[in-house]
């Protein structure tokens, strides 16, 4: 890395729909790299494809980055710097791009093309009949309607008459285009594999390729860290830097690997999430589907109960690995450890269960008071009022048993209500006259117990079992079922202590009078 140049990176999504988790990972790697090197992280909105813009998508992107805690220090929604504006349509209105399109024309590296959509479609059909794919390139441009085949006067006449045109790159013939990718090493592409991409349209709107290069140059971007899907465009971008005379300040490239389906077969998509039951977006929302023209709802990690720290930690390890086997990273630790050299070339398989594991680890890191603050509003929605201290005690007992905070709510019903039923499997296996008599004796013993703690109640339980000639281990699960209705749960006698003598004795009597009757 050139240590003399300030690190400036950008995340440049198109507002054509919700931000996919692959896009979040791209933003994350840019953020980590910028923070690691004391640089700048910019959010730029690339809205050159006006026909595919979705109302609300830009706001979704901003809100998603804020929730993830990977906020840019400059850009749309995060404050202006010297490079404002950061929305390409605003930059187009300021006349940023037209001058460079004209410069490429004047230097002979681009040309006007007047071919209509219908004429190009006809060319494609003609090539299909010959078993070939049509491309507008060095081999075909001389037979098409452009400023390379038309006279200068005719070109001027067509433009003056308001005829529709585009400006295309003039890709050189028979040339190798080489560039170094930080992740993939040297990439070499022959110019015969490239077509003359459209750079500018007669309505004054640049395409992605020109706007991307001009913006990266004017914003002094030092590193372009983006998804693998942009790798085929990189040779054209390298050429444009050369054509515009900007080779010395061309950013370093790093193309990130794909996030793959859980089976490793192809890129992860929303359909995979819908089919397999996990989200692929950070936030839940509803936006227009540009393909169908209909509103489409989608589910996000936030609304599924994931902590942003867990989501980010999981994403960081989808394609990057540290120097050790460490899996749990604070954001500060990620910044310190991150390097593009440790990003893999190959795709990373998404693991939904591992993602839940990450959330579980971050839940366990939270204090009982923090979890209680999440639990209390959920209980209130169910009409349950309790004290912060009791909620903290519930969280202390259940936090090792859950992966999401909402599961605390779902699993704590017996802390407030006597069982309405009992685990049928345990009852069928363990309930008999002897054990029923033991539960009645245990209720009496508990009722006479002085000090009520986990230790004293456990000692009382074992003593009562010994007096009855029963193996305490054989009736412990049955005892749990009698007081909670469930065959599993938190540490048993800590639960007993928390519920209190009156509740435990009452529930034991209820069980004896209910089960088998």
d(CA 72, CA 34): 10
Name the nearest CA neighbour of 417 among 510, 512, 514. 510
Residues 405 and 423 occupy one common structural domain: no
End position of a domain, from candidates 384, 414, 444: 414
In a domain, 330, yes or no: yes
CATH number at residue 282: 3.40.50.620
| Section 391-407 average pLDDT | 97
Model pLDDT for residues 252-289, shown as the tens digit of each residue: 999 999 999 999 999 999 999 999 999 999 999 999 98
Closest-CA residue to 507 (of 479, 487, 465): 479
How many alpha carbons fall within 13 Å on the CB side of residue 146?
Answer: 23
Helix (H) or strand (E) holding 254: strand 252-256
Catalytic residue among 36, 201, 267, 270: 270
Strands 259-260 and 348-349, how do they pair? parallel
Question: Does residue 301 have a pLDDT over 90?
Answer: yes
**Phi-psi region at 42: left, alpha or beta (left = phi > 0; alpha = psi -120 to 50):** beta
pLDDT confidence tier of residue 293, bands split at 50, 70 and 90: confident
Domain that holds residue 277: 1-76+211-221+257-365
Residues 305-335: tens digit of each pLDDT: 999 999 999 999 999 998 889 999 999 999 9
| One domain, residues 410 and 453 | no
Strands, DSSP E only, in 341-498? Answer: 348-349
What are 119-141's pLDDT values in tens digits?
A: 999 999 999 999 999 999 999 99
* Residue pointed to by tokens 């305490």: 472
Tokens at residue 517, please? 């009757």
**Distance from C-alpha of 144 to C-alpha of 406, rounded to nearest angstrom:** 63
Domain shared by 440 and 457, yes or no: yes
Whether residue 478 sits in one domain with residue 382: no
Question: Whole-angstrom Cα distance, residue 157 to residue 20?
Answer: 46
197 is catalytic: no
Mean per-residue pLDDT over the chain, rounded: 95
CATH number at residue 373: 1.10.8
Residue 228 in domain: no
pLDDT confidence of 50, banded at 50, 70, 90? confident
Q: What integer is the mean pLDDT of 437-452?
A: 96
CATH of the domain at 159: 3.90.800.10
Q: What pLDDT is attached to residue 516?
A: 80
Residues of the chain above pLDDT 90, percent: 93
DSSP 17: S
Q: What is residue 429's predicted lDDT score, i.e. its pLDDT?
A: 95
Is residue 355, in this structure, part of any structural domain at all?
Answer: yes
Q: What is the pLDDT of residue 322?
A: 87
Q: Are 317 and 349 in contact (CB under 8 A)?
A: no
The answer to whether residue 243 sits within a structural domain is no
Q: What is the pTM assigned to this prediction?
A: 0.93
Q: How would you list the strands of the sheet with 166-169, edge to edge?
A: 110-113, 166-169, 198-201
Could you tell me if 127 and 108 lie in one domain?
Answer: yes
Total structural domains within the chain: 4
* Residue 204 pLDDT > 90: no
Q: What is residue 199's DSSP assignment?
A: E
């Amino acid at each position: 890395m050139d240590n003399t140049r300030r690190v400036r990176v950008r995340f440049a999504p198109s507002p054509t729909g919700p931000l996919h988790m692959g896009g979040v990972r791209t933003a994350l790697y840019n953020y980590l790299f910028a923070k690691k090197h004391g640089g700048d992280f910019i959010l730029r909105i690339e809205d050159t494809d006006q026909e595919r813009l979705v109302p609300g998508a830009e706001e979704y992107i901003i809100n998603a980055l804020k929730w993830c805690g990977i906020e840019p220090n400059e850009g749309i929604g995060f404050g202006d710097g010297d490079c404002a504006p950061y929305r390409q349509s605003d930059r187009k209105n300021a006349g940023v791009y037209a001058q460079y399109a004209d410069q490429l024309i004047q230097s002979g590296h681009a040309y006007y093309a007047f071919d209509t959509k219908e004429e190009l479609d006809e060319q494609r059909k003609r090539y299909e009949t010959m078993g070939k794919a049509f491309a507008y390139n060095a081999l075909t441009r001389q037979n098409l309607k452009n400023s390379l085949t038309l006279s200068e006067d005719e070109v001027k006449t067509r433009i003056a008459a308001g005829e529709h045109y585009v400006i295309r790159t003039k890709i050189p013939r028979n040339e190798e285009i080489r560039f170094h990718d930080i992740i993939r090493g040297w990439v070499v592409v022959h110019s015969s594999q490239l077509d003359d991409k459209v750079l500018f349209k007669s309505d004054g709107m640049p395409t992605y390729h020109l706007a991307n290069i001009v913006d990266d140059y004017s914003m002094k971007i030092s590193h372009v860290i983006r998804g693998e899907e942009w790798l085929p465009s990189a040779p054209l971008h390298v050429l444009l830097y050369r054509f515009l005379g900007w080779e010395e300040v061309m950013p370093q490239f790093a193309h990130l690997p794909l996030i793959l389906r859980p089976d490793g077969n192809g890129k992860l998509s929303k359909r995979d999430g819908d089919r397999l039951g996990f989200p692929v977006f950070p936030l839940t929302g509803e936006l227009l589907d540009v393909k169908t023209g209909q509103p489409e709802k989608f589910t996000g990690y936030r609304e599924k109960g994931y902590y942003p720290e867990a989501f980010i930690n999981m994403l960081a390890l989808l394609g990057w690995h540290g120097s050790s086997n460490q899996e749990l990273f604070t954001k500060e630790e990620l910044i310190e450890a991150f390097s593009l050299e440790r990003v893999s070339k190959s795709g990373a398989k998404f693991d939904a269960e591992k993602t839940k594991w990450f959330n579980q680890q971050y839940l366990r890191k939270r204090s009982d008071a923090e979890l209680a603050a999440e639990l209390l509003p959920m209980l209130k929605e169910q009409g349950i009022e309790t004290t912060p201290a009791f909620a903290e005690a519930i969280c202390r007992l259940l936090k090792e048993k859950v992966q999401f905070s909402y599961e605390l709510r779902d699993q704590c019903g017996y802390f407030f209500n006597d069982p309405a039923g009992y685990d049928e499997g345990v009852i069928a296996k363990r309930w008999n006259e002897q054990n029923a008599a033991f539960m009645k004796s245990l209720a009496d013993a508990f009722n006479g117990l002085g000090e009520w703690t986990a230790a004293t109640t456990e000692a009382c339980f074992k003593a009562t079992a010994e007096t009855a000639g029963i193996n305490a281990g054989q009736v412990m699960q049955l005892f749990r079922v009698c007081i909670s209705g469930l065959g599993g749960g938190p540490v048993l006698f800590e639960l007993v202590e928390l519920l209190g003598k009156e509740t435990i004795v009452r529930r034991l009597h209820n069980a004896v009078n209910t089960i088998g009757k």
